[in-house]
Amino acid sequence: MLLLVGLGNPGPRYAGHRHNVGFMAVDEIVRRRVFSAWRTRFDGEMAEGHLAGERTLVLKPMTFMNDSSRSVGEAVRFLKIPIERVVVFHDELDIAPGRVRMKKGGGAGGHNGLRDIDAHVGNGYRRVRIGIGHPGHKDLVLHWVLRDFEPDERDPATGWLPRLLKALAEESALLADGTGKTDERYMSRVAALAPAPDLPARLNIKE
């Protein structure tokens, strides 16, 4: 069994925020692949389907970002899912907009949702780190992440965001390999389908 988790904040007020790109990613997977309708479970919204023949559950915690572990931990414990079979989609400040990186374990990097999961569930899960760029100064970070993507970024015809979300969904079957051996291929395929946009450089971007 595979558990895909998208991180974000619930409600229409937050729906378009950069901090909610994890929700957007798993929404697109459920929309484009064969999954059930969303239903309320584990203090979140859950859909069920299959990726590459593997039973796959998709979870969006409805507990707000800083308390994500309440939902994730309940699902992991009840369903007895090994932590390495959990894949978390989240926004990443230190990666340029439109780029995607994957890793297993490691630090939370200042991300409150990851920090909460690490503290109460463990940190051996795989992460799909979706770049949103950095505003240039730490004092601007909160406003930056709790702000909608710009209209040109989310334009259905020309924006990089819809193109990236589509690629993340279309190649998501590669995530079913629990060994992580296909993670590099997943990143490469997504990058090929949705090349990163040529945007003004942001300060403090590491990748």
Q: Which of 89, 111, 92, 95 is nearest to 29 (CA)?
A: 89
Query: What are the distances in angstroms from CA 4 to CA 1, 63, 90, 139, 146?
Result: 10, 16, 11, 31, 23
Asked if 90 contacts 118 with a C-beta cutoff of 8 angstroms, the reply is: no
The secondary structure element, H or E, covering residue 23 is helix 21-32
At which residue do the structure tokens 């979140």 appear? Answer: 44
Pairing of strands 86-92, 100-104: unpaired
Catalytic residue among 17, 19, 111, 134: 19
Helix (H) or strand (E) holding 183: helix 183-193
19 is catalytic: yes
CA-CA distance, 194 to 163, in Å (whole number)?
Answer: 6
**What is the three-class DSSP state of 13?**
coil
Order of strands across the sheet with 2-6? 39-41, 44-51, 54-61, 2-6, 86-92, 126-131, 100-104
Tell me which residues are annotated as active site: 19
